[in-house]
A and B are shown apart, each in its own frame.
Chain A
Amino acid sequence: MDSAISELPARTPLADSAETGLKIVVVGGFGVGKTTLVRSVSEIRPLNTEEVMTQAGVGVDDPAGLTAKTTTTVAFDFGRISLNDRMVLYLFGAPGQERFWFLWDGLFSGTLGAVVLVDTRRMSDSWYAIDRLEHHRTPFVVAVNRFDGDHPVFSLEEIRQALSLPAQVPLIECDARVRSSGKHVLISLVDHLHELARAREMTP
């Protein structure tokens, strides 16, 4: 297996012909391996940034905020894959917790689809994300990040049941540290999106 721990370059410029940016979002609970997955497939070292959301009343996180109103900061990281000389795919690793979803419409609308990353030791961490994606009608696949010494080892069927995943949602295993495995996750998602698009295009 190839290693994901090879050195990634710092930000290198895109080709001057690059014209179309695309996005895929990886969501999941804390420490589930989102950044690891982004790093393993990215052509640049993952970068980190934030968005600040101003809001009335709810979720006081930053009392010393920019304005008198409540501001909430949501951090996320991202990597990049140049698909060809015109298209570049950005892969975002984002926390699946509640305040993140306030930003979904502002930042991640127009995303091709999402990967829900699951750690079987904390499966309930992904319930919320799955729920929100279904609500937003964002197509997604679920990838189980197999940590070493994962005990007990649940079968994919057991995991599907625990997550109440409909049969048409692809469920796969991965090792987020391994580039070929991360690549397989992305291909599974885009294959799924392609099937959905074809089905839609066939319907008059």
Chain B
Amino acid sequence: MMRRPVDLGDPDRLYTVTGGRSRADDEKFDLVTLVVSECRPSPGMQSEHVRILELCRHPIAVVEISAELRLPITVVRILLSDLLSTGRITARHPRVARSHVDLPDSTLLEEVLHGLRNL
């Protein structure tokens, strides 16, 4: 398979997309946080925000948004923070803690096993 790099485009554009910020509150959005839009895009909205709201009409993971928009995870997290803080999206965070010592419990793993066996 050919690796298709995400087109970062011109750095100035990225700067514009993110309003010049370089970090989002990373803790809020995991790669597999599922995002759902709470409203339709409105006129005058930034085009990336419009695309995200359209993608999130059904739940979609942060990493899928990144792939669809061809923007790095960091940039997507910043865009999502904007939408979250204005109530335009909601986020369903993963249950498994973001810590290496907090391992998932056996009940959750049994559900995973059951799902895999049914594939």
- With contacts A137-B100, A197-B109 taken as known, whether A20 is within 8 angstroms of B95 at the C-beta atoms is yes
Question: CA A13 – CA B55 in complex, angstroms?
Answer: 9
Q: List 11 A-B contacts (CB under 8 A).
A: A13-B59, A14-B59, A35-B1, A48-B4, A48-B6, A51-B72, A67-B22, A81-B116, A183-B116, A186-B116, A190-B109
Chain B 1-36 per-residue mask, 1 if CB under 8 angstroms from chain A, else 0: 101111010010011000000100010001111100
Residues of B within 8 A of A92 (CB): 31
Interface flag for A99 (CB, 8 Å): no
A157 interface hit (Cβ, 8 Å):
no
User: Cβ of A155 < 8 Å from any Cβ of B?
Assistant: no
Binding stretch for chain B, among A104-112, A121-129, A145-153? A104-112
Nearest-CB distance from A88 to chain B (Å)?
7
Residue A41 at the chain B interface, CB threshold 8 Å:
yes
Let me know if B63 and A49 touch, CB within 8 A. Answer: yes
- Apart from A66-B8, A75-B5, A197-B104, 12 more pairs, CB < 8 Å: A41-B119, A48-B67, A49-B70, A54-B22, A66-B11, A84-B115, A89-B112, A106-B26, A107-B73, A110-B97, A139-B103, A190-B116
Taking CB atoms, residues of chain B closer than 8 Å to A187 are 113, 116-117
A22 within 8 A of B: yes
Q: What is A's interface to B at a CB cutoff of 8 Å?
A: 11, 13-16, 18-23, 35, 41, 46-52, 54, 65-67, 73, 75, 77-78, 80-84, 87-90, 92, 106-110, 112, 136-139, 179, 183, 186-187, 190-191, 193-194, 196-198, 200-201
**In the complex with contacts A18-B59, A52-B72, A201-B115 CB distance below 8 A:** no
Closest to B58 in A: A13
Is residue B94 within 8 Å, beta carbon to beta carbon, of the partner chain? yes
Residues of chain A within 8 A of B104, CB atoms compared: 112, 193, 197
B106 touches A198 (CB 8 A): yes
Which residues in A have their C-beta under 8 angstroms from that of B31?
21, 23, 90, 92, 107-108
How many Å lie between the Cα of A67 and that of B11 in the bound state? 8
Instruction: Report the Cα distance A81→B63, complex, angstroms.
Output: 14
